[in-house]
Structure 1
Amino acid sequence: MAELLHVPEIVTDAGDVTLRSWQVTENQPYAATDTLATVETDKAVVDVEAESAGVVVTTLVDEGSTVPVGAPIAVLRASDEQVPDLPALLRQLGVSAPGEERAREPVPEPSGPALEPSRAAPDSRQHTPGDPSSPRIEGQGRVFASPLARRMARDAGLALDDLHGSGPGGRIVRRDVEAAIADRTGAVESRTPRPAPEVPAGQPAGQPAGEPTGQATGQPAGVTEVPHTRARTAIAARMARSKQQVPHFYLRDTLPVDELVRLRRDLAAQTSATVSLNDLLIRAVALAHAAVPAMNVIWTDEAVRAFPSVDVGVAVATDAGLVTPVVREADRMSITAIAATVRDYVDRARSGQLRQDELEGGTVTVTNLGMHGIEEFSAIINPPQASILAVGAAREEPIVRDGRVEVATLMRVTLSVDHRPVDGVVAAEWMSAFRALVENPLRLLV
Structure 2
Amino acid sequence: MTVSIKMPALSPTMEEGTIARWLVKVGDTVSSGDILAEIETDKATMEFEAVDEGTVVSIDVAEGTEGVKVGTVIATIAGEDDDAAPAPAAKVEAAPAPTAKAEAAPAPAPAAAAPAPVAAPAAAAAAPAPKGDRVIASPLAKRIAADKGLDLSAIKGSGPNGRIVKADVSDAKPAAAAPAAAAPAAAAPAPAAATAPAPAAASIPDFGIPYEATKLNNVRKTIARRLTEAKQTIPHIYLTVDIRLDALLKLRGELNKALEPQGVKLSVNDLIIKALAKALLMVPKCNVSFAGDELRTYSRADISVAVAAPSGLITPIIVDAGSKSISTIATEMKTLAGKAREGKLQPHEYQGGTASLSNLGMFGIKQFDAVINPPQAMILAVGAGEQRPHVVDGALAVATVMSVTGSFDHRAIDGADGAELMQAIKTLIENPLGLLA
Quick check: TM above 0.5? Answer: yes
CA contact (8 A) 1:46 1:356 kept: no
Distance in 2, Cα, partners of 1:436 & 1:288 = 9
Match of 1:125 in 2: none
Q: 1:84 to 1:344 in 2, by over 3 A?
A: closer
Identity of aligned residues (%): 38
Q: 1:31 to 1:433 in 2, by over 3 A?
A: same
Match of 1:98 among 91, 96, 114: 91
Distance in 1, Cα, partners of 2:265 & 2:393 = 36
Amino acid at match of 2:239: L
Q: 1:348 to 1:85 in 2, by over 3 A?
A: closer
CA contact (8 A) 1:7 1:71 kept: yes
Give the stretch that moved more between structures: 350-359 or 360-369: 350-359
> 3-state SS of the aligned residue for 1:74?
strand
Match of 2:356 in 1: 365
Q: 1:414 to 1:98 in 2, by over 3 A?
A: same
1:317 CA drift (Å): 0.8
User: What do residues 117-148 of structure 1 show as CA deviations (whole Å, max 9, x unaligned)?
Assistant: xxxxxxxxxxxxx9xxxxxxxxxxxxxxxxxx
Match of 2:235 in 1: 247
1:393 CA drift (Å): 0.5
1:221 CA drift (Å): 4.9
Match of 1:427 in 2: 418
1:438 CA drift (Å): 0.5
Distance in 2, Cα, partners of 1:384 & 1:239 = 12
1:319 CA drift (Å): 2.1
Amino acid at match of 2:409: D
CA contact (8 A) 1:376 1:391 kept: yes
Mapping of residues 78-227 of structure 1, within 5 Å: 78=79, 80-83=80-83, 98-99=91-92, 218-227=206-215
1:97 CA drift (Å): 6.1
User: Runs of 5+ in structure 1 lacking a partner?
Assistant: 91-95, 101-129, 131-149, 158-216
Instruction: Please tell me whether residue 7 in structure 1 is matched to residue 7 in structure 2.
Output: yes
Match of 1:316 in 2: 307
Distance in 1, Cα, partners of 2:227 & 2:290 = 17
Identify which of structures 1 and 2 has the higher relative contact order when contacts are C-alpha pairs closer than 8 Å and 6+ apart.
2
Q: 1:429 to 1:47 in 2, by over 3 A?
A: same
Q: 1:155 to 1:321 in 2, by over 3 A?
A: closer
Q: How many residue pairs align between the two structures?
A: 330
Q: Which has the larger radius of gyration?
A: 1
User: What do residues 309-366 of structure 1 show as CA deviations (whole Å, max 9, x unaligned)?
Assistant: 1111000112222111111111121111111111112111111111222221112111
TM-score (norm: length of structure 2): 0.71
Give the stretch that moved more between structures: 39-48 or 415-424: 39-48
Distance in 2, Cα, partners of 1:18 & 1:255 = 45
CA contact (8 A) 1:319 1:350 kept: yes
User: What do residues 196-220 of structure 1 show as CA deviations (whole Å, max 9, x unaligned)?
Assistant: xxxxxxxxxxxxxxxxxxxxx9443
Distance in 2, Cα, partners of 1:81 & 1:27 = 15
Distance in 1, Cα, partners of 2:386 & 2:15 = 46
User: Runs of 5+ in structure 2 lacking a partner?
Assistant: 94-127, 129-196
CA contact (8 A) 2:60 2:74 kept: yes
Match of 2:32 in 1: 32
1:86 CA drift (Å): 5.7
Q: 1:376 to 1:156 in 2, by over 3 A?
A: closer
> 3-state SS of the aligned residue for 2:388?
strand
Q: RMSD value over aligned CA atoms?
A: 2.5
User: What do residues 57-114 of structure 1 show as CA deviations (whole Å, max 9, x unaligned)?
Assistant: 2211111222111222111133x34415666xx9xxxxx96149xxxxxxxxxxxxxx
